[in-house]
Chains A and B, each alone.
Chain A
Amino acid sequence: MTPTENVLGPVGPRPGGHGGSSDPAAVRTSGLTKHYGRVTALSDCTINVPEGRISALIGPNGAGKTTLLRLLAGLARPTSGQVTVNGVTPHQDPAFLADIGYLAQEIPLYRRLTAEDHIRAGAHLNPRWDGESVRERLTGLKIPLNRAVGKLSGGQRAQVALALILAKRPRLLLLDEPVAALDPLARKNFLGLLADGVAAGGLTVILSSHLVADLERVSDHLIMLAASRVQLCGEIDDLLAEHRILVGPRKDTTALERSHRVVQVTRTPRQTTLLARLNGPVIDPAFQVSEVGLEELVLAYLGEDASPTLAHLNTVGEDQ
């Protein structure tokens, strides 16, 4: 990272990129909460994903990513709070379902049926169905159409499921760790396909993954969950603009912490590094301010969640 500015104001939506809040929302939730028995899977989740975004859903295991996606797909019902998808509350209606593509982490396919069977089933069950695209895509990937899906490799199965979900031509794609089973090249190709689909218009994607580098390449929006709560939600450009890394001499940082939200503090004998969400200019000239990358930002929030107290006192000892 390179120190660039000493003084930086909080930055709003940037011109030139997406229109920010002016786009209609593909997904909007408010206070969305889901309990399973005594377990809180999702708590007070308020997010807004404008149309035409590829939104990265990031969070540690058990943070509530799958729960959120299932609530959006209408597979689960919220305990409380509101959810609006493509302008309506998820409900059992062919028109609503036709607009949603949801691919669960387990890649649910009928193991004894072939890819071709799935393509035909899709044709019977969906108003818009581009079965030919699946055949083309799978043939291109040298995946046999007439072999039972259960006999394909994990990666091939994932490719079949992804091709099928795209053939449905949904307006909102919800993908739960879709690329986990794919090799790096297949991953790159698939993400490129998604980006093309979104660029062609009429498609919004929310995809969860642990592979931040992959997500960084295609996504322009970020939802970060930890411990069943939303930590961050917004355009990635905006989020990066709001956060800065501050590096300065080792000294008391309480003044900084009072005016900005410090996400992470790292102390060494000679210097202190802060990752903070700025509420205004950094006045203290002793600190050098530099931009933050998506991965650093994500890791900082993940670390904060893991143990809030320790993250604040994340001091590297003298003798290390």
Chain B
Amino acid sequence: MTWLVWRQHRIQFYVGAALLAAFAILIVITGVQVADQFRSAQAACAMHQGCRHLGGLFMGSHIVGFLVISTLGAPVLVGLFWGAPLVAAEAEAGTTQFAWMQSVTRRHWLVVKIGWMLVAAAIWGGVISVLVTWWSSPNNAEQLNQFNPGRFDIMDLVPVAYSLFAMALGIAAGALLRRVLPAMAVTLAGFIGVRAVVALWLRPHYMSAVTVFYKVTSGFTPPGAFWQIAQGVVGPNGQVLPQPNNTPLFDGVPQTALPASCSSLFNGPGNPSPTASCAQALSHFRGFLTYQPADRFWTFQGIETGIFLAIAFALIAVTAVVLLRRDA
């Protein structure tokens, strides 16, 4: 059975391997440059004794940076071009009737075919993730943004889980719909939908976020690559202040919420310091920051991976039930 799977899908395998190889070459070459740039910038800082912050240093070319970000979409490719046609193309061509009339049970056919496809998907997601994670490590050390949505999703464990999910989704859609194009459409929509729902609504709640209140004048920054969920200012009466777009802010406090004694803060040039009465007024405001601490990064990666593996497993189970129960 493995022979047939290989013979049927080897072109797809070659295309996938070629894409991965091209991506790897690009990432390794530019990644070495980025790492060099980072090291020399660090060395320069060390000589000047004190740039803890490399601020505006941008590492890597825009094109490669864009490519790295666009690996957000890489997992769905295996679902679209390998998963969706896996059963649907055979159903369309009627070749399931060839495969299922050899001396091989449908269960065996399914296990071998889906098994290899899942292995391929895991390799695809894994290789891309390793490359992207390695390429991004100087950026991560510098910008501390790997916990942010969009960055979290292209590194470490989760791309593997996304790829397995996309593959399972494609296979299930193909098995249910038995048409390649509708199955691809469902795979694309389903992948984007599920990823968006999980990333936007579920992920912030894997663990209760930490909220810290602080004096607006002193500010507060948690250590490491934390994930900021919300930030704002609480007024003297304990209410969160709206932050209208067109109002000037001082340490997050809108001008309209401050007394007239603070008007100098907004008019003067440079960094004016508040008058005594204004400082008194400011002391009644507190800033707050709701965030997921940096040390939860791996817990979150684990939880998100678990969620997508569970969905993938459920989709494979549905596929198996449909194919084993339904008439060929």
Contacts and interface: CB of A to CB of B under 8 A. Distances in A.
B104 A125 contact: yes
A111 interface: yes
B10 to A, nearest CB: 10
A111 B93 contact: yes
Nearest to B99: A125
Interface in B1-51: 1, 3-4, 7-8
Interface in A72-111: 73, 75-77, 92-95, 97-98, 100-102, 104, 106, 108-111
A95 B107 CA distance: 14
A117 B98 CA distance: 13
A14 interface: no
Contacts of B95: 108-110
B220 interface: no
B7 A127 contact: no
A120 B8 contact: no
B94 A106 contact: yes
A69 to B, nearest CB: 11
A122 B97 contact: no
Interface string B92-134: 0111111111111111100000000000000000000000000
Contacts of B101: 73, 75, 97, 100-102
Nearest to A34: B327
- Do most interface residues of chain B lie in helix, strand or loop, or is the interface mixed? helix
A92 B105 contact: yes
A126 B324 CA distance: 20
Nearest to A125: B102
A92 B103 contact: no
B107 to A, nearest CB: 7
Contacts, number: 72
A92 B107 contact: yes
B230 interface: no
B1 A125 contact: yes
Contact of A97 (B96, B102, B328): B102
Interface in A39-77: 70, 73, 75-77
Nearest to A118: B98
Contacts of B328: 70, 75-76
A70 B107 CA distance: 18
Contacts of A100: 101
Given A76-B328, A92-B106, A94-B104, A124 B4 contact: yes
A215 B96 CA distance: 28
Given A92-B107, A97-B104, A70 B327 contact: yes
A285 B98 CA distance: 57
Contacts of A77: 327
Contacts of A101: 101
Contacts of A127: 103
A200 B328 CA distance: 32
Contact of B97 (A94, A95, A104, A120): A104
Residue among A92, A109, A117, A125 with the most chain B CB within 10 A?
Answer: A125
Contacts of A171: none
Contact of A104 (B1, B94, B105): B94
Given A70-B328, A75-B100, A97-B103, A125 B93 contact: no
A191 B146 CA distance: 70
A168 interface: yes
Among A77, A98, A124, the most chain B Cβ lie within 10 Å of the Cβ of A124
Interface string B150-161: 000000000000
A95 B95 CA distance: 21
Interface of A: 70, 73, 75-77, 92-95, 97-98, 100-102, 104, 106, 108-111, 113, 117, 120-122, 124-127, 168
12 contacts: A75-B101, A76-B328, A92-B105, A94-B103, A98-B103, A100-B101, A104-B94, A111-B93, A121-B7, A122-B102, A124-B4, A125-B99
Q: Which 6 A-B pairs have the closest CB atoms?
A: A125-B102, A98-B103, A108-B94, A76-B327, A75-B328, A92-B105
Interface of B: 1, 3-4, 7-8, 93-108, 324, 327-328
Given A97-B104, A98-B103, A100-B101, 13 more contacts: A92-B106, A101-B101, A102-B97, A104-B94, A108-B96, A113-B8, A120-B3, A120-B7, A121-B7, A124-B3, A125-B99, A125-B103, A125-B104
